[in-house]
Amino acid sequence: MNGENVISSKKITQNLGFIGAGNMAKAITDGLLKSEAVKPSQMYVCAPSNRNLASWKTLGVNTSNNNGYALENTDVTVLAMKPQYLDSVIDNLVLSHPLPENHIFISILVGVTLETLQRKLSRFIKSPRVAKVIPNTPMLVQEGCSVFCCTHPADNEIIELVQAIFSKGGICEMIPEPLMNAMGALSGSGPAFVYMIIEALSDGAVKMGIPREMSTHFSAQTLLGAAKMVLETGKHPGQLKDEVCSPGGSTICGVHALELGGLRHALIDAIEAATKRSEEIGKQK
């Protein structure tokens, strides 16, 4: 690879490799393909199982069971496997030729630090250029949240590349590495917490006689609308909540029930628990 490709606001000219073909890798590539930022022929996806690769093949993406294929044919390699497989993937990588020094690695491995990634990848490149990104699955519908940090914070090529890839599926911002685990708990794990809230609201509506399909649809739309109100008005969520609550009305009675049930406490605990687990995973590496 020549390493002289230029990133435009619309197109990414680098070839992109993915080691791992799970849901998050699919969300990233779907965002890129839907936005036409890359062509399927620019992507090289590797996974141990042909079953995982079947859907990629139908898109015209290059696929292989050999992880070295993703490195040798690309300028940028995205590490998208489960973090517990990092060592085995690196230990079993066989390359037919050395990688160029300007090869870029992007990791979406939860909890694995930049220092760990640099140390483990230095067997292929003396001083690997690495970005660590925490995306989320709503990238599939171009409403994702991604945060990143990198080993060379002044390396504009890496910064622009990460933003070009991940902004195709939503918002993408650079933050200090010490904040990555907490942001991963918020935006990376957060969709799972929100799905539970949507499901619970739907259950409540079903209990009160609303058909399931309608209750789920309106629960999801209610959260979408409320989120847009926060984003577009710039008002504090507490203020917006107060604007819905009339004195002695039904909404404030519902809010009281949520407070009694410990909603705030549970969500705060969920962010803390997910953050701590990410930190534990990082220490294991």
- Give 13-27 pLDDT, tens digit per residue: 899 999 999 889 988
The fraction of the chain above a pLDDT of 90, given in percent, is 64
Average pLDDT estimate for 212-220: 98
**Closest residue by Cα to residue 139 from 44, 52, 228, 30:** 30
Any binding-site annotation on 21? yes
Residue 211 region by backbone torsions, left for phi larger than 0, else alpha for psi between -120 and 50, else beta:
beta
Any binding-site annotation on 67? yes
**Which pLDDT does position 113 carry in this prediction?**
92
Residue 99 region by backbone torsions, left for phi larger than 0, else alpha for psi between -120 and 50, else beta:
beta
Q: What domains sit in the chain, N to C, each tagged with a CATH number?
A: 16-175 (3.40.50.720), 190-284 (1.10.3730.10)
**Between 203 and 58, where is the model more confident?**
203
The fraction of the chain above a pLDDT of 70, given in percent, is 96
Q: Residue 174 pLDDT more than 70?
A: yes
Any binding-site annotation on 266? no
**Which pLDDT does position 285 carry in this prediction?**
62
Any binding-site annotation on 73? no
- Write out the two tokens for 255: 């809010």
Any binding-site annotation on 249? no
**Which pLDDT does position 123 carry in this prediction?**
86
Average pLDDT estimate for 33-41: 89
Most confident of 67-76, 83-92, 118-127, 219-228: 219-228
**Which pLDDT does position 6 carry in this prediction?**
40
Q: What is the mean pLDDT of the chain?
A: 90
DSSP 65: S
**Closest residue by Cα to residue 122 from 105, 97, 145:** 105
Any binding-site annotation on 192? no
Most confident of 94-98, 142-146, 224-228: 224-228
Average pLDDT estimate for 193-212: 98
Any binding-site annotation on 24? yes
Q: Residue 181 pLDDT more than 70?
A: yes
Any binding-site annotation on 181? no
Rounded to whole angstroms, the Cα distance separating 283 from 257 reads 40
**Which pLDDT does position 2 carry in this prediction?**
43
- Kindly give the pairing relationship between strand 104-107 and strand 16-19: unpaired
Any binding-site annotation on 20? yes
- Could you tell me where the DSSP H helices lie in the chain? 23-34, 50-58, 68-72, 86-91, 114-121, 156-166, 180-183, 190-207, 212-233, 237-244, 250-261, 263-284
